[in-house]
Amino acid sequence: MHAFGAVKAKPRYHRCMGIILASRSPRRLTLLQSVGLIVEVRPSHINEPPLPDESVTTMVTRLSRNKALACAAPAGIAVIGLPVRATLQLLSEIQ
């Protein structure tokens, strides 16, 4: 799979019953559904500006964690609050 290409994957069954997407992004929703995941959209409303002298990796990690925590998901449900590029990387690893 290429970062800017289409996701070509057969649906798979995963251990978790569903995933919460902490974003209203239709692209992320489509990417997650394209690999057969059951996705609930539950946008988190957090401030997303970078902190002074914060690296991109640190910012993505911080924002993803804050979005996941803001969703207050029940135990056993994964929350994804990643930017699109990080979501693509995650999907390439589970295929």
For 40, the 3-state DSSP assignment is strand
Cα(85)–Cα(22) distance, rounded to whole angstroms? 15
Stated pTM of the model: 0.62
Number of domains in the chain: 1
The predicted-structure confidence for 45-79, as pLDDT tens digits, reads as follows 887 788 899 887 888 888 888 888 888 788 778 88
Residue 12 lies in a domain: no
pLDDT of residue 88: 66
| 79: containing domain | 21-46+54-94
Cα(88)–Cα(86) distance, rounded to whole angstroms? 5
pLDDT at 18 over 70: yes
Answer for the pair 82, 60: CB distance below 8 angstroms, yes or no.
yes
Answer for the pair 85, 27: CB distance below 8 angstroms, yes or no.
no
Residue 16 lies in a domain: no
Bigger pLDDT: 20 vs 4: 20
